[in-house]
Amino acid sequence: MKIIFFGSGGDLSPVLSDQGFELEEILTLEDIYSSHSDTIIGADLLVITNTNDPTGILLCKELNPNIKIIVYSQNELSDFLRSQIDFALDPQLFPPALVAEELSNLFF
């Protein structure tokens, strides 16, 4: 399963990698169309860790309408962002090991 992070994967990346997930980070909006469009098209899940600009979600959904989206951040979510995502998880309530375990159960 391929997971794309919009923003840094932080503590979640190594745990997901150990579970066998294929990971890639996209750090800027410009990267979505310039060098990562094929990656997004083939991805199963988008994990948003940078909630400052929700435009990235629209761009990813445009490239891959079936992609599932999780926000993994403590930041407040805009109404626009809430309507575009499947789940929002607070890292203080959902540690990386728990998220990786649940994703493994869902996708493997």
Q: What is the DSSP code string of 13-78?
A: HHHHHHTT-EEEEE-SHHHHHHT-HHHHHT-SEEEE---S-THHHHHHHHH-TT-EEEEE-SSPPP
Output the pTM of the full model: 0.88
Residues of the chain under the 70 pLDDT cut: 33-36, 108
Domain 2-107 maps to which CATH number in 3.40.50.1260, 3.40.50.2300, 3.60.15.10, 3.40.605.10? 3.40.50.2300
- pLDDT, position 65: 92
